[in-house]
Structure 1
Amino acid sequence: MDYKDTLLMPKTEFPMRGNLPKREPDMQAKWEEMNIYEKVQKRTEGRPLFILHDGPPYANGDIHMGHALNKILKDFIVRYKSMSGYHAPYVPGWDTHGLPIETALTKNKKVNRKEMSVAEFRKLCEQYAWEQVDRQREQFKRLGVRGDWDNPYVTLTPEYEAQQIKVFGEMAKKGYIYKGLKPVYWSPSSESALAEAEIEYYDKRSPSIYVAFAVKDGKGVLEQDEKIVIWTTTPWTIPANLGIAVHPDLDYVVVKVGDEKLLVAHDLVETVAKEIGWEEFETLRTVKGQQLEHIVAKHPLYERDSIVMLGDHVTTDAGTGCVHTAPGHGEDDFIIGQKYGLDVLCPVDEKGYMTSEAPGFEGLFYDEANKPITQKLEENGALLKLSFITHSYPHDWRTKKPTIFRATAQWFASIKDFRNELLKAVEDTKWVPAWGETRLYNMVRDRGDWCISRQRAWGVPIPVFYGENGDPIITDETIDHVSNLFREHGSNIWFEKEAKELLPEGFTHPSSPNGKFTKETDIMDVWFDSGSSHQAVLVERDDLNRPADLYLEGSDQYRGWFNSSLSTAVAVTGKAPYKGVLSHGFALDGEGRKMSKSLGNVVVPAKVMNQLGADILRLWVASVDYQADVRVSDAILKQVAEVYRKIRNTYRFLLGNLFDFDPKKDAVAFDQLREVDQYMLVKLNKLIEKVKKSYDEYEFAAIYHAVHNFCTIELSSFYLDFAKDVLYIEAADHKDRRAIQTVLYESLLALVKLMTPILPHTTEEVWSHISSVEEESVQLVDMPEAVHFENAEVLEQKWDAFMSLRDDVLKALEVARNEKVIGKSLTASVTLYANEKAKELLESVEEDLKQLFIVSEFAMGGSYTEAPENAQTFDAVKIVVKQAEGKTCERCWVVTPEVGEDQDHDTLCPRCAKIVREQYVS
């Protein structure tokens, strides 16, 4: 007979190769057909709610690696929560208003805005936004992210906009909303105001000039022939100069340089002398900053006064200690200007061009005006020094072009009025990583009022009417009415109707005795849009709740969505919209560089999924320390794919060796198992405990390493390796075989469930090959519960010590193999010389040590000191390895002199001959 046919070799249809790029889409189609999201929600209904609120990505273009990292992390958490005692609905969202969509239409789609009304242009914007939502939705689903994809939240929908109007109205009602003329970040390239969150800093080369302002009225402190020196890197703001700020507590000195007498701060005089190039100077006298208040200087370009003022914002970090002040072009300038009654002069228009309020420079773009202004200063004898510096400068995050500070009439949310509540809300939130609390706390503590108006077409209009006298009208009645109109018709109605048609019927107001009204044309900052989602989504939808348990976004959102959501929620409810905030870093290339098309180092999620599969991408996310910046490259993904292969092979081995196992009748109780089997179950349950704790603490890399180690070390290198001798060789119902199968079955179920949040496609495929499970999907079961066995600790200590000794045996075998003493380990005979402790341990092991070491002969020699000279030496044992004597059994490959003793089966060892006779020969 062919003895191969008598071996119980693994049988499974679970394929060795994942072929994920082909299988995953089929799996996803099946999930869609069975409506898996709804089934999960129905199964967990009535459990405690866990809400991870999705920060909306911007609906424009294909998803990038940062999107993939973010959405996959969220999916890990939501999937885990729904398998561990929670009801965890997940509603994905999109941010759909703002400049990029306007730009995409006008530049890429060549739409001519001038040929259509605002309302018509907005309809094109909406259509484009929906196209982008559909495009990104398919890409997110391809990642294997489970959610309510048929009912996402989108910031342009009528119900969302209606709730956003309510948030604005509530803030206005509490007095937090006001209109004022203030300098704000202004983007000439976007022709709109920007919020701090829309600013990025890049290096810019700027002129650096030192300018002398001649004293006109020194108030008895400075003399007529003396001059005050200022320094600036924005010569274009000199036409807007109305004053000079000094610090009241600083010492200032008048120095004589050649024929000139110049005033600078005492602490900066050496630096200024070096910068301007004074070869020598003489200090004439010292005055306190407070003595200089109200001194009048002459403007260096115009017949205009420049007033000296006292300001605590003046420092000696750079410059001269005398700060050029243009109230229309700087926040500190504006504040001190208001204190001293200065005008808010802003001679730059919305496109960045100088106006008639800057005589001599009208029509010049502000950056181009630097040169002629500097030349005019030189002509007037006011320029002391011109050089150039490269420094960090604010840019528009969309257009990547420089911004300016420009005073315009804007709508603001007054942060200072509820700053203390905001800070308290930050302290009451759980932050991961912990430094997130300090970061947002400091931002809130230091930030100014929030400019919420934008001069664009595509967005939610600011719901304000104006009376005939120009007074803004915001009442409960108007807010409710506009909110209801938007809910019914969408916000485009604001641009389709006149003010009178948008007001409640019969509306009257003291500011308009003749019943004539106008409406605001500015839209809201897009951060106000997404920042209102706690009400427009969590309150609007019946299946959600405010506050959310978790917000999870990139670390750039401390100044973005985390911040704007906090501001609107605390303003409206007095509390944060989230109980916890978790942030992740950015996705970089393999060398730690930012990905860019110009460098050619962009890793595209779609390409990775087409080549390797979504589960490899997901496993990569699990493998990285995502709270810092993470690296991804073909080489890194290849390493992850290798780990995936090992995990998949483990699943396949477990399935293959359970083909004849029915847990209902074949499972062995724990106390009936051999110690080695009990040991593996103890290790398995420690893994369950560790993995669940790691999920709870959002430490996915710990799960990746724990599962990988369990599969490769505990299982593959030990248990599964020696188990083959029992699984393949013994009779089907042999007690040792059923004991091992019991362990394999428990391991399979646990590993499938534990990895489902991370590898949902693969575990679903494994689940479909487990005949004994009843649920149609692994997504419809809970995480395994860790079992605490009696005497588990003692058992684990004993077998951990044995594993250490086994490692020594394996090393000795490897040395013998390299020295050509043996071939495979089954050709070896091992003799062990042990110290008392090791001897006692080995004698306590009831299992067959030959089997555990995977050798043909094993014997205990004498004591440690009695070992022969050729023994390999280790801490507790000395080992002699030699070739085993005898013939090789054709069936089990053990080498023994007993092969051939059975006449009927003369190529088998006695053990195999007995099995064959009893099981296969009738």
Structure 2
Amino acid sequence: MEYKDTLLMPKTEFPMRGNLPKREPEQQKNWESQDIYKMVQDRTKDRPLFVLHDGPPYANGDLHMGHALNKVLKDFIVRYKSMSGYCAPYVPGWDTHGLPIETALTKNKKVNRKEMSVAEFRKLCEEYAWTQIENQRSQFKSLGVRGDWENPYVTLKPEYEAQQIKVFGEMAKKGYIYKGKKPVYWSPSSESALAEAEIEYQDKRSPSIYVAFKVTDGKGVLNEGDQIIIWTTTPWTIPANLGISVHPALNYSVAEVDGVRYVVAEDLLASVAKELEWENAETVAIVKGESMDRMIAKHPLYDRESLVMLGEHVTTDAGTGAVHTAPGHGEDDFIVGQAYGLDVLCPVDEKGVMTSEAPGFEGIFYDEANKPITEALQEKGALLKLSFITHSYPHDWRTKKPTIFRATAQWFASIKDFRSELLEAVKETKWVPAWGETRLYNMVRDRGDWCISRQRAWGVPIPVFYAENGEPIITDETIQHVSDLFREHGSNIWFEKTANELLPEGFKHEGSPNGQFTKENDIMDVWFDSGSSHQAVLAEREDLVRPADLYLEGSDQYRGWFNSSLSTAVAVTGKAPYKGILSHGFALDGEGRKMSKSLGNVVLPSKVMNQLGADILRLWVASVDYQADVRVSDGILKQVAEVYRKIRNTFRFLLGNLADFNPETDAVQDSDLREVDRYMLVKLNTLIDKVKDAYENYEFAVIYHNVHNFCTIELSSFYLDFAKDVLYIEAKDQKDRRAIQTVLYETLLALVKLTAPILPHTADEVWGHIDWVKEESVQLVDMPESKNISDASALQEKWDRFMTLRDDVLKALEVARNEKVIGKSLTADIKLYPTNETKELLQSVKEDLKQLFIVSGFSIAGSYEEAPEGAQDFGQAKIVIEKADGETCDRCWIVTPEVGENKNHPTLCPRCASIVETYYA
């Protein structure tokens, strides 16, 4: 007889190797054929709603690790909520308008816009957007992200645009929308205005100049000919100068240098003197800033006045304390200029080229105008110093080129009119991390009015008509009509029809006596598009609700989507569109650097999935502290893959050792379980509670570490290790064996459910190998509940103490193994000399201690004080490890003198001989 054939070894078709890149696409096809999203929604339809509203990624290009991080985090939450008492729909979305698609067509696809109408070009943009959506959708699905992929929301869909028009109309109705000429971020490279969210800061080398303005009317305080010094890093704005701002509360020094009197802030005199290399500056007078109000200076280049004004924005952080003021090129400049009734001069066109309003520099690109303007100042004797500095400067986040402040006629949303409501809504929102509240609160508190118009073709038109007298027309009637037209035809109709054709039939207006109308050609800021999703998606769809429970995006969206959504929602409804905000950091390389093609450090989700599998990528997301910036590299992913392997092998062991177990007939009642089995259920309860609590608090790294530790420490290093002696060796229906299997069954079900939101492919693969479950997928069940274990706390206290002792025993065995006293632990005989407290603990343990320590011999050989010299001392016991006497059993590998007592099976121990004779004779 082959004794190995009498062992009850694990049996399962669940493979050891995941081979995820091959199996996951098959699993995804299965989900698609099942329509698993609909099955989950049908199962949970009568439950309370939990809505995580998807912030729309831009439909252009392949996914990067930031996309993967974001979508997988969302998927964790949605999957968990649907398994914990909620109906959790997930409607993915896409942002589709804006410059990147225009650029992709004109530059990459070589489309010539001049050869077609705006409507024709927009149709090409739409077609391109849909190809990008399809590409990204397949990549998101390959990540295992579950959602309503066949019915996403898309900002170019007619029903979305129709609702966006209503948001605009409601804001206009409340007086929050106006048209005005004021400086905005302007991108010459895009030929369009930009929002703050479209600005990023990069280093730029700029000229730094000190310029003198001669006083022509000092109001009896300064002398004619005194020179007020300004400092600027934008010489190209000097032709637009209309004034000089000083702070009313500052003292200004009149410093005489070589017979010339210069005026600078008293606090900055020393630094200016050093910069201008003055060696003999003498302060001859001190004047208060407020006394300089409405003094007149002469423009250094042109025959016109520069008005001295009082401005609270002036500081002594740098410069001279007297600020060059060009109302057409700066927000503070504009505000103070408006207060003093100055014009808004802007001698730069949409391409960044100087116009005829800058005599002498017409036709020169603004940045290239710095040099001739500086030379002209030199010739006029007004330039005191030229140097160069490198400083942080605003750039267009799409083209990566510098922006300027430029005054143009734009449409604005007046934030100041409902700022207090916005700030209150921020306070009422739940923030994770908590600092998010302060960040958005400060942004809302400090932000100016929102420029919502763009001079582009690809976007949602601003639904404004103009009468013959130029009066803008925004009424309930026109807004509703345009919204209905867009819902039926899409917004392209705006560019296909004339204004009169777009207006309601028979529309009349007193400003158009001849019945003729024109229409606005600008489109809306894309942040207005996505910021309207609370209306166009949450309020539009029957399966969702406003406000959403959660918005989850990267930390850059505090100035982006979180902000624009808040502005439009509070303006329209008086409330935030979300109950909670959760933000994450950026994905960096293994050294903490930003990923870039030039550095060659880009980690692509597609490559990770092709090499390792989506579940490895998802497990990486669970492993990181995502609220800060996160690192990813081949080395980091390799470590995560090792953790996955341990979790997978745990599932395989559990499945293999339950092959002959039927929970309906073979399960052991809790009251009949041994203490060690009940202890494992207490440990399982702890895991269940910790993991569910971590899901509730979005602490996925806690789940990652607790599941990993449970698999490697509680199970692999302890329970499963000693259980093999029972599971493989004992008779099939032996009580201790069935008790262990009962625990393994509970553990398997709990583990597969707990990990399902993070490892959906693997969890469903495991689920498919569990014979006794009825549901088609683990996605169609709820999270496990911790069971009531009698005397759980006392049981845990006792067995935690035992586990500490067991750790000491294992250390002693390791020392003995290194000293060649023993080989494997089953060749060892332990002689223990415990303290009285430890002896009482051991006497209370009813289980086989040899089995628990995985040795062939164990005895309490005496008291702690009686231990022989050389015994290993662990404080609670002294331990002597000896080689066990006897022969090794051919079946269970126990070493015992009893091997050979059974003449029919001379190489077996009595236990194995009895099992073989009873069940395998």
Q: TM-score, normalised by structure 1?
A: 1.00
The residue type paired with residue 449 of structure 1 is D
Which position in structure 1 is the counterpart of 2:473? 473
The residue type paired with residue 44 of structure 1 is T
Secondary structure of 1:229's counterpart equals strand
Which position in structure 2 is the counterpart of 1:190? 190
The residue type paired with residue 616 of structure 1 is I
Deviation of 1:513 (Å): 1.3
Q: Does 1:284 align with 2:284?
A: yes
The residue type paired with residue 888 of structure 2 is T
Deviation of 1:304 (Å): 0.4
Which position in structure 2 is the counterpart of 1:157? 157
The C-alpha deviation readout for 1:403-457, integer Å capped at 9, x for no partner, is 0000000000000000000000000000000000000000000000000000000
Once residues 231 and 912 of structure 1 are traced to their aligned partners in structure 2, the CA distance between those partners, rounded to angstroms, is 95
| 1:156-555 matched pairs, under 5 angstroms | 156-555=156-555
Secondary structure of 1:352's counterpart equals coil
Once residues 816 and 629 of structure 2 are traced to their aligned partners in structure 1, the CA distance between those partners, rounded to angstroms, is 46
Which position in structure 1 is the counterpart of 2:800? 800
The residue type paired with residue 855 of structure 1 is V
Once residues 684 and 257 of structure 1 are traced to their aligned partners in structure 2, the CA distance between those partners, rounded to angstroms, is 83
Once residues 418 and 281 of structure 2 are traced to their aligned partners in structure 1, the CA distance between those partners, rounded to angstroms, is 52
Which position in structure 1 is the counterpart of 2:127? 127
Deviation of 1:636 (Å): 0.2
The residue type paired with residue 362 of structure 1 is E
Secondary structure of 1:367's counterpart equals coil
Secondary structure of 1:368's counterpart equals coil
Once residues 201 and 830 of structure 1 are traced to their aligned partners in structure 2, the CA distance between those partners, rounded to angstroms, is 69
Once residues 747 and 203 of structure 2 are traced to their aligned partners in structure 1, the CA distance between those partners, rounded to angstroms, is 56
Once residues 74 and 881 of structure 1 are traced to their aligned partners in structure 2, the CA distance between those partners, rounded to angstroms, is 53
The C-alpha deviation readout for 1:894-922, integer Å capped at 9, x for no partner, is 0000000000010000010111111111x
The C-alpha deviation readout for 1:535-593, integer Å capped at 9, x for no partner, is 10001111000000000000000000000000000000000000000000000000000
Once residues 411 and 850 of structure 1 are traced to their aligned partners in structure 2, the CA distance between those partners, rounded to angstroms, is 82
Which position in structure 2 is the counterpart of 1:818? 818
Deviation of 1:870 (Å): 1.7
Once residues 243 and 653 of structure 2 are traced to their aligned partners in structure 1, the CA distance between those partners, rounded to angstroms, is 81
The residue type paired with residue 608 of structure 1 is V
Deviation of 1:275 (Å): 1.1
Q: Does 1:883 align with 2:883?
A: yes
Secondary structure of 2:410's counterpart equals strand
Deviation of 1:511 (Å): 1.2
Once residues 433 and 546 of structure 1 are traced to their aligned partners in structure 2, the CA distance between those partners, rounded to angstroms, is 22
Which position in structure 1 is the counterpart of 2:753? 753
The residue type paired with residue 304 of structure 2 is R
Q: Does 1:3 align with 2:9?
A: no
Which position in structure 2 is the counterpart of 1:593? 593
Once residues 535 and 311 of structure 1 are traced to their aligned partners in structure 2, the CA distance between those partners, rounded to angstroms, is 41
Secondary structure of 1:179's counterpart equals strand
Name the count of aligned residue pairs. 921
Deviation of 1:259 (Å): 2.5
| 1:80-95 matched pairs, under 5 angstroms | 80-95=80-95
Deviation of 1:801 (Å): 0.3
Once residues 59 and 781 of structure 1 are traced to their aligned partners in structure 2, the CA distance between those partners, rounded to angstroms, is 34
Q: Does 1:582 align with 2:558?
A: no
Which position in structure 1 is the counterpart of 2:841? 841
Deviation of 1:788 (Å): 2.9
Once residues 457 and 375 of structure 1 are traced to their aligned partners in structure 2, the CA distance between those partners, rounded to angstroms, is 39
Which position in structure 1 is the counterpart of 2:717? 717
Q: Does 1:918 align with 2:918?
A: yes
The C-alpha deviation readout for 1:523-542, integer Å capped at 9, x for no partner, is 00000000000010001111
The residue type paired with residue 592 of structure 2 is G
The residue type paired with residue 314 of structure 2 is V
Which position in structure 2 is the counterpart of 1:556? 556
Deviation of 1:218 (Å): 1.1
Secondary structure of 1:750's counterpart equals helix
The residue type paired with residue 920 of structure 1 is Y
Once residues 836 and 389 of structure 1 are traced to their aligned partners in structure 2, the CA distance between those partners, rounded to angstroms, is 78
The residue type paired with residue 21 of structure 1 is P
Q: TM-score, normalised by structure 2?
A: 1.00
| 1:622-771 matched pairs, under 5 angstroms | 622-771=622-771
Secondary structure of 2:384's counterpart equals strand
Which position in structure 2 is the counterpart of 1:29? 29
Once residues 224 and 914 of structure 2 are traced to their aligned partners in structure 1, the CA distance between those partners, rounded to angstroms, is 120
Once residues 281 and 221 of structure 2 are traced to their aligned partners in structure 1, the CA distance between those partners, rounded to angstroms, is 20
Structure 1 residue runs of 5 or longer lacking an equivalent are none
Secondary structure of 2:303's counterpart equals coil
Once residues 459 and 225 of structure 1 are traced to their aligned partners in structure 2, the CA distance between those partners, rounded to angstroms, is 54
The residue type paired with residue 123 of structure 1 is K
Deviation of 1:280 (Å): 2.1
Secondary structure of 2:182's counterpart equals strand
Once residues 286 and 814 of structure 2 are traced to their aligned partners in structure 1, the CA distance between those partners, rounded to angstroms, is 85
Secondary structure of 2:369's counterpart equals helix
Which position in structure 2 is the counterpart of 1:569? 569
The residue type paired with residue 792 of structure 2 is A
Once residues 104 and 769 of structure 2 are traced to their aligned partners in structure 1, the CA distance between those partners, rounded to angstroms, is 48
Task: Give the percent of matched residue pairs that are identical in Structure 1 and Structure 2.
Answer: 81
The residue type paired with residue 442 of structure 2 is N
Of the structure 1 ranges 253-262 and 466-475, higher mean CA displacement relative to structure 2 is found in 253-262
Deviation of 1:205 (Å): 0.5
The residue type paired with residue 346 of structure 1 is C
The C-alpha deviation readout for 1:91-126, integer Å capped at 9, x for no partner, is 000000000000000000000000000000000000
Once residues 95 and 374 of structure 1 are traced to their aligned partners in structure 2, the CA distance between those partners, rounded to angstroms, is 44
Once residues 226 and 64 of structure 1 are traced to their aligned partners in structure 2, the CA distance between those partners, rounded to angstroms, is 59
Deviation of 1:236 (Å): 0.3
Q: What is the RMSD computed on CA atoms of the aligned residues?
A: 0.4
Deviation of 1:655 (Å): 0.2
Once residues 868 and 260 of structure 2 are traced to their aligned partners in structure 1, the CA distance between those partners, rounded to angstroms, is 99
Deviation of 1:804 (Å): 0.2
| 1:777-796 matched pairs, under 5 angstroms | 777-796=777-796
Once residues 449 and 245 of structure 2 are traced to their aligned partners in structure 1, the CA distance between those partners, rounded to angstroms, is 23
Once residues 264 and 786 of structure 2 are traced to their aligned partners in structure 1, the CA distance between those partners, rounded to angstroms, is 73
The residue type paired with residue 5 of structure 1 is D
Structure 2 residue runs of 5 or longer lacking an equivalent are none
Which position in structure 1 is the counterpart of 2:52? 52
Secondary structure of 1:88's counterpart equals coil
The C-alpha deviation readout for 1:790-831, integer Å capped at 9, x for no partner, is 210000000000000000000000000000000000000000
Secondary structure of 1:651's counterpart equals helix
Which position in structure 1 is the counterpart of 2:612? 612
The residue type paired with residue 884 of structure 2 is A
The residue type paired with residue 134 of structure 1 is E
Once residues 699 and 664 of structure 1 are traced to their aligned partners in structure 2, the CA distance between those partners, rounded to angstroms, is 36
Once residues 465 and 547 of structure 2 are traced to their aligned partners in structure 1, the CA distance between those partners, rounded to angstroms, is 32
Deviation of 1:666 (Å): 0.4
Deviation of 1:862 (Å): 1.1
Secondary structure of 1:862's counterpart equals coil
The residue type paired with residue 20 of structure 2 is L
The C-alpha deviation readout for 1:268-314, integer Å capped at 9, x for no partner, is 00010111111221110101001101110000000000010011111
Deviation of 1:225 (Å): 2.5
Deviation of 1:170 (Å): 0.3
Secondary structure of 1:245's counterpart equals strand
Once residues 644 and 236 of structure 1 are traced to their aligned partners in structure 2, the CA distance between those partners, rounded to angstroms, is 59
